């Protein structure tokens, strides 16, 4: 395998600026990234072997989705041993080699931590369900039935149906905001918090550089078990029972930030570590700001502003970034257009003929936003959502909601490293035929490919203090045009995008004092063809 082109050197950080501030981070979904032993499942040695490619994209860190021991009912987000590596993915020694190789390439390593729930196969839950008076009896959320035998509250699971399952051994219901096989931890319990922190310390001691905290707004429930109120009609199609109610009491408890402060205190006892929270839901800003407020909580948070959007509009971008002004007491945002939980952005936001243009303009836009940016594996290749036939679906949410949603499996298919990758009869998900033309070996040395463009866009970000950590000022957010300025005391950049389907132009004031330094298409001057963008630098005095 030939060596990957190396990106331009990253901008030297200003004194006192943390490595993660503004950093591009590459998400790896271990199941599908790289299979080193041809068993149909990606693994840690496969990731290690492909880290040179990741480094060449121009990111500062990788984020690994769960690789922990798990029965895989939710493909790693149902953990049965927080300190173990699932044999499907390798061993702890394999993980140590991955850390060593990543650090040698200048990559930080961020891993998932799932503190809201475990697998029902975890030893903690097995003990907890055995009786009402064992040492871990109150480590999970248990409650008696109502007088008529119905669940203790009306809370609904994200994956469909009641968020409560009856357990005959205890004669009680247990809470699960996700699958019935994912019982919720009672994180109100200080002993549970202590044990979760001990698990975090285990990985910090092995050299990880930070954590992405999964579904952390579900970490605590309302102890009074009050019913959620119905959600007002919004005209949208509702495919899940949980969409019919406002989740006031099964998540976002006001004591969660106190636990977050304990996590941050632990992380800060190690040098240069990073924390970022995933905050799901349609109204996530309040939690995101609470979880990142001040200097004692998470460093950053991201929600689903873009991941749940069926259209990319200037107004959507303006609303998202305006919620995170550069002001005292406001946390630092993170942004993602695609990930393992959302259909790939080119398929959500563009028709088939426009997906290549959409992949380029969104990569340039992402590279220009203020905050950390997350790039999902395959996004650098411009992969669209793969078609997975119903009989090959693996995602429980996709199966439950078929055919009303695209589901998550189409974003989780194997990465096409070679255009002639054979279809494997035992692959956990099929290799998408439509992805082979976008394989890494086809794009690697093509200067006009999406991969080459991604490297240029991130090289631009990595060489620009204004894009990394400068201020952001929206100049226009009209029906089609998004224009904003990124600036520091020594650099001004103008970032202009046409997110519409008609050609436009956007000429800045004092145009002769601006120079275009990057564009997503082959136009010139101030032209903005459909789904395109450019970045200009101020050269005036």
Contact (CB, 8 A) for 115 and 216: yes
SS3 463: coil
Prediction pTM value: 0.94
CA distances from 421 to 14, 430, 448 (A): 44, 11, 23
Q: Tell me, what's the pLDDT at 3? A: 47
DSSP designation for 308: T
Helix ranges (DSSP H) in 249-395: 256-268, 285-292, 314-322, 345-349, 355-368
Q: Tally Cβ neighbours within 10 Å of residue 353.
A: 7
Instruction: Return the CATH class of domain 24-119+188-462.
Output: alpha beta
Helix ranges (DSSP H) in 402-516: 440-443, 450-462, 465-469
Known catalytic residues are 214, 278
Angle at 338 between CA 49 and CA 471, to 5 degrees: 105
Angle at 269 between CA 264 and CA 275, to 5 degrees: 35
As beta bridge partners, residue 108 has 61
Residues carrying CATH 3.20.20.80, the chain? 24-119+188-462
CA atoms within 13 A on the CB side of 293: 10
Contact (CB, 8 A) for 53 and 63: no
Which residues are within 8 A (CB) of 168 and not within 5 positions of it... i.e. 6 or more apart? none
Calculate helix-pair angle for 450-462, 355-368, nearest 10 degrees.
Answer: 10
Distance of alpha carbon 329 from alpha carbon 228, whole angstroms: 31
Q: Tell me, what's the pLDDT at 409? A: 83
Tell me the mean pLDDT per 10 residues along the chain, length 541.
Answer: 48 71 97 93 97 97 98 95 98 98 97 98 98 97 98 95 96 97 98 98 98 96 98 84 94 97 98 94 86 95 91 97 89 95 93 96 98 97 87 70 70 91 69 92 96 97 94 97 96 97 94 96 93 95 68
SS3 233: coil
Distance of alpha carbon 76 from alpha carbon 425, whole angstroms: 22
Residues carrying CATH 2.60.40.1180, the chain? 470-538
Residue 200's φ and ψ, nearest 5 degrees, are -60, -40
470-538, superfamily in CATH? Golgi alpha-mannosidase II (2.60.40.1180)
Distance of alpha carbon 372 from alpha carbon 210, whole angstroms: 14
Hunting for tokens 């001990």 — which residue is that? 198
Residue closest to 103 by CA, chosen among 16, 203, 9, 208: 208
């Amino acid at each position: 395998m030939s060596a990957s082109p190396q990106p331009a050197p990253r901008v030297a950080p200003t004194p006192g600026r943390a490595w993660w501030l503004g950093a591009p981070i590459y998400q790896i979904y271990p199941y599908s990234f790289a299979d080193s032993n041809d068993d149909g499942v990606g693994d840690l040695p496969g990731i290690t072997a492909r880290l040179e490619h990741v480094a060449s994209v121009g990111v500062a860190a990788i984020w690994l989705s769960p690789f922990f021991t798990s029965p895989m009912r939710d493909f790693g987000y149902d953990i049965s041993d927080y300190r173990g590596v699932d044999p499907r993915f390798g061993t702890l020694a394999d993980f140590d080699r991955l850390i060593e190789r990543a650090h040698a390439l200048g990559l930080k390593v961020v891993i998932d931590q799932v503190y809201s729930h475990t697998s029902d196969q975890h030893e903690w839950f097995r003990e907890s369900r055995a009786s009402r008076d064992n040492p871990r009896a109150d480590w999970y959320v248990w409650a008696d039935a109502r007088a008529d035998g119905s669940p203790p509250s009306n809370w609904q699971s994200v994956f469909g149906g009641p968020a409560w399952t009856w357990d005959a051994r205890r004669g009680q219901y247990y809470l699960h905001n996700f699958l019935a096989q994912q019982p919720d931890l009672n994180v109100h319990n200080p002993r549970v918090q202590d044990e979760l922190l001990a698990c975090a310390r285990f990985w910090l001691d092995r050299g990880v550089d930070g954590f992405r905290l999964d579904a952390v707004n579900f970490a605590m429930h309302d102890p009074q078990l009050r019913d959620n109120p119905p959600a007002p009609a919004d005209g949208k199609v509702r495919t899940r029972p949980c969409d019919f109610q406002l989740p006031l009491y099964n998540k976002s408890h006001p004591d969660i930030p106190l636990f977050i402060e304990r996590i941050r205190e632990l992380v800060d006892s190690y040098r240069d570590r990073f924390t970022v929270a995933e905050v799901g839901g349609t109204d996530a800003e309040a939690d995101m700001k609470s979880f990142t407020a001040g200097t004692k909580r998470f460093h950053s948070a991201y929600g689903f502003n873009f991941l749940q959007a069926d259209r990319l509009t200037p107004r959507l971008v303006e609303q998202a970034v305006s919620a995170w002004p550069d002001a005292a007491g406001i946390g630092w945002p993170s942004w993602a257009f695609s990930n393992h939980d959302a259909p790939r952005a080119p398929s959500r936001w563009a028709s088939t003929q426009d997906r290549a243009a959409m992949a380029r303009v969104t990569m340039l836009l992402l590279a220009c936003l203020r905050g950390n940016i997350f790039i999902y594996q395959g996004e650098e290749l411009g992969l669209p959502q793969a078609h997975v036939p119903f009989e090959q679906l693996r995602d429980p949410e996709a199966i439950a909601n078929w055919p009303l949603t695209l589901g998550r499996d189409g974003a989780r298919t194997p990465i096409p490293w070679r255009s002639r990758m054979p279809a494997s009869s035992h692959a956990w998900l099929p290799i998408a035929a439509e992805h082979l033309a976008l394989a890494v070996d086809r794009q690697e040395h093509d200067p006009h490919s999406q991969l080459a463009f991604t490297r240029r866009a991130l090289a631009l970000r990595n060489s620009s203090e204004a894009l990394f950590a400068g201020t952001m000022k929206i100049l226009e957010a009209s029906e089609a045009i998004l224009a904003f300025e990124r600036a520091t005391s020594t650099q001004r950049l103008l970032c202009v995008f046409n997110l519409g389907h008609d050609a436009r132009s956007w000429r800045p004031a004092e145009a002769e004092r601006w120079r275009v330094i990057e564009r997503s298409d082959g136009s010139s001057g101030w032209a903005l063809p459909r789904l395109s963008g450019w970045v200009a630098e101020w050269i005036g005095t």
